[in-house]
Amino acid sequence: MSAQVSSAVPLKDAIEEARFGGKCVSLGFALRAELPAPGGYALAVDLVSAIASGDEAARASIAPLFAEFAPAVAVRSSAVGEDSVDASFAGQHLTVLNVMDAESVIAAIQQVHASAFTAEAIAYRVKMGVEGEPAIAVVIQQQILSEVAGVMFTKNPITNANERYIEASWGLGEAVVAGMVVPDSYRISSEGSVLEQVLGDKDVELVATEEGETREREVDQIRQDSLCLREDQLDRLHNLALNCEAVYGEHIDIEWAFHEGQLYLLQCRSITM
């Protein structure tokens, strides 16, 4: 790898937004604050560009990173200018889930890098007033194989009320983020009381496969007819919201997941109202 190309750093050490993008820096901030974010590595813009352009030394540096978090990782975009107060790039760039070997991680990095240069992504940058060429960093993060996952807004984005608004569904959270299901929805007061629970239409879930992919799977009727969050889980999500607001100091949009009883913070950004 060229001496001018930087090395990957542990996610908690990602500090410079101009090098690592908004998502890396936000997750690094969460880890330094001991919020329950999965571990991972941050790849700076120059390293991602080197991998995308075929630099063999840069590509070879990926194998030990994957080994630390095997058997599976998620590869996420972290664009410079992303997740700022003025311009949230949520959904504009690719995320690749359940990546199960180093060569596939390299391919995923290339796909994520390319997603910043699509016509749709560039048009969105223009719309949001983000100038210059796309600069994309990458998060390589432990894959959480969630049983239940979703999003939480610490301020209701629909009514602007000072309450938690949660959407949840079975399986991986991309089913909620990508609109594959009508998730269950919950309103929680700022003091933690459950104000409303609405059953969604959760007929499918997104699950990881042993082949290193994800697929849709039909949800059995019992789970379709059941709310996917228990009262104790809602209480833990409320406490996560309190902890995140104490750290970030503003109303935020959280992606979260439950796996084997553990609650994980997958992503955190300012709400775009």
Q: Which domains are delineated in the chain?
A: 9-142 (3.30.1490.20), 148-270 (3.30.470.20)
Question: Does 88 have pLDDT greater than 60?
Answer: no
**Residue 86 pLDDT > 50, yes or no?**
no
Average pLDDT score over the chain: 91
Q: What percent of the chain has pLDDT over 90?
A: 78
Residues 70-76: what's their mean pLDDT? 95
Q: Which residue has the higher pLDDT, 178 or 170?
A: 170
DSSP the chain: --TTSPPPEEGGG---HHHHHHHHHHHHHHHHTT--PPPEEEE-HHHHHHHHTT-HHHHHTHHHHHHHHTT-EEEEEEETTTT-SS---TTTS-EEEEE-SHHHHHHHHHHHHHHTTSHHHHHHHHHTT--SS--EEEEEEEPP--SEEEEEESS-TTT--SEEEEEEEEB-THHHHTTSSB-EEEEEETTS-EEEEE--B--EEEEE-TTS-EEEEEPPHHHHTS-S--HHHHHHHHHHHHHHHHHH-S-EEEEEEEETTEEEEEEEEE---
Residue 85 has pLDDT above 90, yes or no: no
Check residue 118 and give its pLDDT.
Answer: 84
Each residue of 105-132: pLDDT tens digit? 999 999 999 988 888 878 887 787 777 7
Q: pLDDT tens, 37-55?
A: 999 999 999 999 999 999 9
Between 78 and 250, the higher pLDDT residue: 78
Share of the chain above pLDDT 70, in %: 94
How does pLDDT run across 223-271, given as a tens digit for each residue?
999 999 999 999 999 999 999 999 987 789 999 999 999 999 999 887 7
Answer with the residue of higher pLDDT: 261 or 133. Answer: 261
At 187, the pLDDT band (50, 70, 90 cuts) reads very high
Q: pLDDT at residue 194 above 80?
A: yes
